[in-house]
Amino acid sequence: MQHISNSRASLNPEEIDLFVLTHIGLVYVEQRHWKEVEVLEVVIMEKRKQVLGDDHPDILMSRANLASTYRNQGHWKKAEALEVMVMVKRKQVLGDDHPDTLTSMENLASIYWKQGCWKKSEALEVVVMKKRKQVLGDDHPDTLMSMANLASTYREQGHWKEAEALKVVVIVKRKQVLGDDHPDTLTSMANLASTYRNIGCWKEAEALEVVVMEKRKYVLRDDHPDTFTSMANLACTFWKQGCWKEAEALEVVVMKKRKQVLGDDHPDTLLSMENLAFTYREQGYWKKAEALEVVMILKKKQVLGDAHPDTLTSMENLASMYRNQGCWKEAEALELIVMEKSKQILVPDDSGSPEKAGRDYQWSISK
């Protein structure tokens, strides 16, 4: 696999067997080399079309995977267009209630969610949740995932009570079906903690996050990415309460561990650096914050590209730091670049926000 990764510049996808291409693509997905993934998926889709035709389920899976790759690069409109096509075709070929059709609807809801189109996302998620209850039952893991996603959408619209009610149900059912220590149960607890955090119930959020962190350390071990996320979320709760030293201590650990386990250039490592930079900024440590932000911008440009939303967010954050230090020319220069790049792509507003508990979405990836 490492040989494949190191040799990608010499690969000609057109000359490679479809089965091999698919597995190379999975390696690239794990490494988040989205441009290479995109090139491979287009070739895979075209090769499958020649053999299977436009409406075959495997072709629709290829389109869904390409939509996911667009989404990971922040190309929301491209992702949306493909996902709409996949959803419509799956309804025609497989029927409204087929699991793959519901997955398409859920993926499209996720794309709307990422663009802040909460009502569109909510409308799809309500349908998916109801259909999964009818087809799979109230306690099926996919049904619970749908409920968790709808709860996240309620949360983003500030419907805290509706979000909390759904999340509590999901936690109870996941404990019954999967057990207290199952990763999905712990994700539900983390998401409920996020809701508590958003409504200012810091102690409730903190208590849940400590439990999740300790359980993930026990079940998944200290060096698992989900354990890092739990630590980052607990740091976020400290951050929201102005407990800068407690937040800083956790964030330094998370950043170091992610560098060791995931590598310096991994998006999660960069997110850790971003969170630590925010904490330095809040304490007035401008130079420490600036140094981290400069490194992040360079790495994000290399890994994600100049116009990726995360790259632009880091540039905006650095411009803000320059402004706070009275470096007006440097701030203005960055802000002009961000403004021009933002015209090319819709940028979600995650600036100034430490790491959040995530969504439950499972993107369809061909095996």
Query: pLDDT (tens digit, 9 = 90+) per residue, 174-192?
Result: 999 999 999 899 999 998 9
Task: Give the residue, 259 or 341, on which the prediction is more confident.
Answer: 259
If pLDDT is split at 50, 70 and 90, which confidence band does 276 have?
A: very high
Give the number of other Cβ atoms within 10 Å of residue 69's Cβ.
27
Domains and CATH numbers, the chain: 1-115 (1.25.40.10), 133-219 (1.25.40.10), 221-357 (1.25.40.10)
Evaluate if residue 364 carries a pLDDT over 70. Answer: no
Tell me what pLDDT residue 359 has: 43
pLDDT above 70 for 264: yes
Give which of 213, 218, 243, 241 is closest to 229, Cα–Cα: 213
Contact (CB, 8 A) for 129 and 147: yes
Per-residue H/E/C for 213-271: HHHHHHHHCCCCHHHHHHHHHHHHHHHHCCCHHHHHHHHHHHHHHHHHHHCCCCHHHHH
The structure tokens 């904490």 sit at: 279
Which contacts of 246-255 are long-range, i.e. CB under 8 A and separated by 24 or more positions?
A: 247/279, 247/354, 248/276, 248/279, 248/280, 248/283, 251/275, 251/276, 251/279, 252/276, 254/228
- Mean pLDDT (whole number) for 219-238: 91
| Residues 285-305 pLDDT 10s | 999 999 999 998 998 888 778
pLDDT at position 356, please? 37
What are the pLDDT digits (tens) for 130-177? 999 999 999 999 999 999 999 989 988 999 999 999 999 999 999 999
Place of tokens 């989900």: 226
Does this model's pTM top 0.85? My answer is no
What integer is the mean pLDDT of 200-224?
A: 93
Mean pLDDT of the chain: 85
pLDDT band of residue 18 (cuts 50, 70, 90) is low
Helix axes 99-114, 57-72, angle to 10 degrees: 20
Question: Minimal CA–CA distance to 78: which of 62, 56, 88, 63?
Answer: 63
Phi, psi dihedrals of residue 223, rounded to the nearest 5°: -100, 15
